[in-house]
A and B are shown apart, each in its own frame.
Chain A
Amino acid sequence: MQDIFFYLFAALTLLSGALVVLNPFSRNPVTSAMFLVLTMVFMSGLFVLLHAFFLAAVQILVYAGAVMVLFLFVIMLLDLKAEEQRRIKVFSAGLGTAAVGGLFALILLAIHNGAPADTGLARIEGTTFDLGQLLFTSYLLPFEIVSVLLLVAMVGVILLSKKDLK
C-alpha cells in the first residue's frame, strides 16, 4: 500500500516539477508558480511516507504557504506579461541540456554503484516532539543562529525595498 503511494507521489512530484520548468503550453510565470506549489504539496506527501510528519507540515506551511505567496505577490507586483516568444539560442540550450544530462547520469551512476544501505528496519519517527527535543538540546546554537539570520534577512529586505537608497 505504501509502495503504491510512493510511486503515485513520486510520479506526481516529478510531473509537476517538470511542468514548472518546461511547460509546453504556457510561458507564464504564474503557471510555473502554481505547479511549484503542487510540487511542494506532493513532496510533503513523500515526507509523510518517510515518517517525517513535522517536516511535511512545515513544508506545506512555509513553502506552499509563505514562500509561494511571496513569489505570486512579486509576480503580481511586477505585472509580468507572459514571456514573449524570444528566439531560443539552440546551441546554448543544447549545451545546457547536455551538461544537466551529464550531471544527472553521473549522480545516478554514483547512486547505483554505492553500497546498498543495509541498516535493517527503519524505526525513527520525525514527530514534532522528537524533532523539538533534538532542536532544543544538541542543535540549540544553530537554531539561535538561524533566528539571527532571519532577522538579518528581514532588515536587508526592508532596506532593499526602500525607494531611494542612501
Chain B
Amino acid sequence: MIMEVSLNHYLFVSTTLFALGLLGVLLRRNLLVIYMGLELMLNAANLALVAFSRFNNSLDGQVMVFFIITVAAAEVAVGLALIVALYRKRQSAHTEDLTHLKF
C-alpha cells in the first residue's frame, strides 16, 4: 500500500537531490560538472520551498523560488563567463590544473 504523499515525501526528495548535488561538487573535477552540481542543489532548495508553500497555504514560498531562479540564471551566466576566461588562460577546466592563486 502506498502512503499518501505528504510534505515529508517532498522534503525527502529535496534532501536526496541536495546530497547528490553536494556529492557532485565534492567528487567531480570538471568545473562545468561542479557547476551542474550547484544547479542541482539550488533546484533541491526550490523544490523544498514550493512544497512548504503548498502545505502552508502561502504563496510567499513560490515568489521566493521565482527570485531564486532569476538569481541562479544570473549566477550561471557570470560563472560560465569566468570559466571561459580561465580556460583561455590555462587551456583546462579541470580543478587539478587550476591550483595557482595567481595567473
Residue positions of A touching B, CB distance < 8 A = 2-4, 6-7, 10, 13-14, 17-18, 20-22, 27, 29, 32-33, 36, 39-40, 43, 46-47, 49-52, 54-55, 58-59, 62-63, 66-67, 70-71, 74-75, 77-78, 80, 83, 86, 93, 96-97, 99-101, 103-104, 107-108, 111-112, 116-117, 119-120, 122-124, 126, 130-131, 134-135, 139, 142, 146, 149-150, 152-154, 156-157, 160-161
Contact = CB atoms under 8 A, between A and B. Distances in A.
Name the prevailing secondary structure of the B interface residues.
Answer: helix
User: For this complex, into which size category does the number of interface residues on chain B fall?
Assistant: 35 or more
A161 B82 CA distance: 8
Interface in B7-58: 7-13, 15-24, 26-30, 32-33, 35-37, 39-40, 43, 46-47, 50-51, 53-58
A131 B43 contact: no
30 contacts: A3-B4, A14-B13, A20-B36, A21-B20, A32-B32, A40-B43, A46-B47, A50-B51, A52-B65, A54-B66, A55-B69, A58-B66, A58-B69, A63-B43, A67-B73, A74-B80, A74-B84, A78-B87, A97-B23, A108-B15, A116-B6, A116-B8, A117-B56, A119-B57, A126-B62, A131-B62, A134-B60, A134-B63, A153-B75, A160-B81
Contacts of A97: 23, 26-27
Contact of B20 (A20, A80, A149): A20
A52 B50 contact: yes
B85 A161 contact: yes
B74 A153 contact: yes
Contacts of B58: 124
B23 A124 contact: no
A112 B62 CA distance: 24
Name the prevailing secondary structure of the A interface residues.
Answer: helix
B67 A71 contact: no
B32 A74 contact: yes
Contacts of B96: 86
A100 B84 contact: no
A46 B13 contact: yes
A103 B50 CA distance: 22
Nearest to B88: A163
Contacts of B55: 117, 119, 122
Contacts of B53: 50, 52, 124, 126
Contact of A7 (B2, B6, B32, B35): B2
